[in-house]
Structure 1
Amino acid sequence: CLSGGKDSYTMLDILMFLKKIAPIHFDIVAVNLDQKQPGFPEHVLPQYLDSLGVEYKIVEEDTYSIVKDKIPEGKTTCSLCSRLRRGILYRTAKELGATKIALGHHRDDMLETFFLNMFHGGKLKSMPPKLVSDNGEHIVIRPLAYCNEKDIIKYSEAAEFPIIPCNLCGSQENLQRQNIKAMLQDWNRRFPGRIESMFSALQNVAPSHLVDKNLYDFKSIKTQDAPVADGDIGFDPPSFDTQPTAEEENDIHIVNMTEAK
């Protein structure tokens, strides 16, 4: 899925590079959804993709009018817009016979989604690197799941991608996601390495030390003669990996993968 933003351009670059060196064969079809937003530069993506020699499909669906009609002025449009896009992408993937749908979400998106769901949805839920769609027909992958946004920004700037901004909801300054993003950035400024630590937490879950009865069978807990893996380890001294310094995080070598041999 290619939106014309920094994330999807970077993802396409990486997939094209992997296609050259991977021990398995796979084809790439870049799909863009033209939502008929006023002022959308329709020529940018076709010209760019033609220059790369990438197979692509432009899907034209006027979701812009639907969103504007259904969502009151000043309210967040992302939820409805996302659902409409997802349905169209699933349909298009089926028409193309695609076995995977690649999305450009990165590590910071996953953390922001986690806190959005916790603060506003009352659930511990993020974005997995790979999942099966609700109808069971599609596999969604997120190749940038372990990439941080700062690296993607630097890569995008170095590669000089023809970025197309999303103007559907203006500056989006009042969106809950933007508030979460600002909160995380502030935490990381004051406590360097906080982002890495939180993302690590998403990969180290202890269901026995939460309170979800559907996730862990608390009723069946019994004493045992030997230590158990999910026992009372919650009071053990925490161990912390050494986090990268600000200088180390900025020491990044940018390579344009599409030009790599």
Structure 2
Amino acid sequence: MTAQNADAASRKQRLEFNKLQKRLRRQVGSAIADYQMIEEGDRVMVCLSGGKDSYGMLDILLGLQKTAPVNFELVAVNMDQKQPGFPEHVLPQYLESVGVPYHIVEKDTYSIVKEVIPEGKTTCGLCSRLRRGTLYSFADEIGATKIALGHHRDDIIETLFLNMFYGGKLKAMPPKLLADNGRNMVIRPLAYCKEQDLADFAQARDFPIIPCNLCGSQENLQRQVIKQMLADWEKSHPGRMETIFTAIGNVAPSQLADRELFDFAGLQINSAPEPSDVQFINAVEV
């Protein structure tokens, strides 16, 4: 490759990255505004796993913090679950390099999971519940008003179908959620972002990714089945993922069957004519 071609390729790469970064920042900004995720004076606890999504979330929030119309704090928090081989130095080094306040919460949930879950079974469900409980408690300790999780659009759609196919429930992951304890507010700033965009962003930014397979757990096979199904749909019908996500925010309770959401039993035929009907009848009689 000639020097001229190399320069052209480099310019194109920078242009594509700038477009990607602007798109992600716009989507995160829109999600925050649409659901009032972050307000004046908030202290946002940004949960970092060491994966591409949480790195991207922190990076984008740090950028938005400089230009946002409200003042808010960011505190990065990682939970060291004492998995064998976990590179404890990676996240502290990165967080110090970007200059964000951070905490590493150490709790040996790995041993608990291994003791409870039979060998060969996926540990992800129990692992995430234990992690969530610890992080909620720590948010109280540091006075965090919001807890930011790195779930993106694809996660939300996959969860919808997981609950439908395997749980018999029509629910997904809301962009904003009041935790069951009533004290913690969970936000998902990446709710409008595509997973592939976040993967491309992580690669371009060269984040020090920590894999989520240190515990030796099998992949969540049900989620993988759903992920493949959605990928096949998107390939054969481009835009379907976006349509599904739009549907999650455009619900018509009267067109479903949940008696708690809609009073089907109280439905009555309106025997009195509508005003427009009366006008029509009078016009005909005249």
**TM-score band, normalised by the shorter chain?**
0.7 to 0.9
| Match status 1:19 vs 2:65 | yes
Amino acid at match of 1:167: N
1:156 pairs with 168, 183, 202, which one? 202
State the TM-score, normalized to the length of structure 1: 0.84
> Residue 197 of structure 1 is aligned with which of 218, 230, 243?
243
Q: Which residue of 2 aligns with 1:172?
A: 218
* Larger proportion of helix: 2
Q: Tell me the alpha carbon deviations over residues 67-103 of structure 1, each in whole angstroms, 9 at most, x when there is no partner.
A: 1110011112111111101100001100000000000
**Which residue in 1 is equivalent to 2:155?**
109
The answer to whether structure 1 residue 5 and structure 2 residue 51 are counterparts is yes
Amino acid aligned to 1:206: A
| Cα drift, residue 167 of structure 1 | 1.3
Give the Cα separation in 2 of the matches to 1:32 and 1:173: 22
Deviations 1:22-57 (A, max 9, x none): 111111110000011111100000000010111000
Residues 121 and 218, structure 2, Cα contact 8 Å, conserved in 1: no
Structure-2 residue corresponding to 1:253: none
The residue number in structure 1 matching 2:180 is 134
1:172 and 1:190 mapped to 2: Cα distance?
29
Judged with a 3 Å threshold, the aligned counterparts in structure 2 of structure 1 residues 171 and 158 are, in CA distance, closer, same or farther, namely farther
Q: Distance in 2 between matches of 1:5 and 1:173?
A: 15
Unaligned runs of 5+ in 2: 1-46, 276-286
Aligned to 1:210: 256
Q: Structure 2: how far apart are the matches of 1:13 and 1:226?
A: 56
Count of aligned positions: 227
Q: Check whether the contact 1:116–1:177 (CA below 8 A) recurs between aligned residues.
A: yes
Question: Structure 1 residues 82, 226: CA separation in 2 closer, same or farther (over 3 Å shift)?
Answer: farther
SS in 1 for 2:74: coil
2:108 aligned with 1:62, yes or no? yes
**SS in structure 1 at match of 2:265:** helix
Aligned residues with identical type, % of pairs: 70
> Alignment partner for residue 193 of structure 2, among 125, 147, 168?
147
Using the size of structure 2 for normalisation, the TM-score is 0.77
Q: Relative to 1, partners in 2 of residues 1:171 and 1:67: Cα closer, same or farther, differing over 3 Å?
A: closer
Check if 1:92 corresponds to 2:138.
Answer: yes
What is the alpha-carbon distance in structure 1 between the residues aligned to residue 150 and residue 229 of structure 2? 22
The alpha-carbon deviation at position 171 of structure 1 amounts to 6.8
| 1:194-236 C-alpha deviation (Å, 9 max, x unpaired) | 1111111101111101011111100111223459xxxxxxxxx
Distance 1:226 1:95 in 2: 59
User: Does the residue aligned with 1:140 lie in a helix, a strand or coil?
Assistant: strand
CA RMSD of aligned residues (A): 1.4
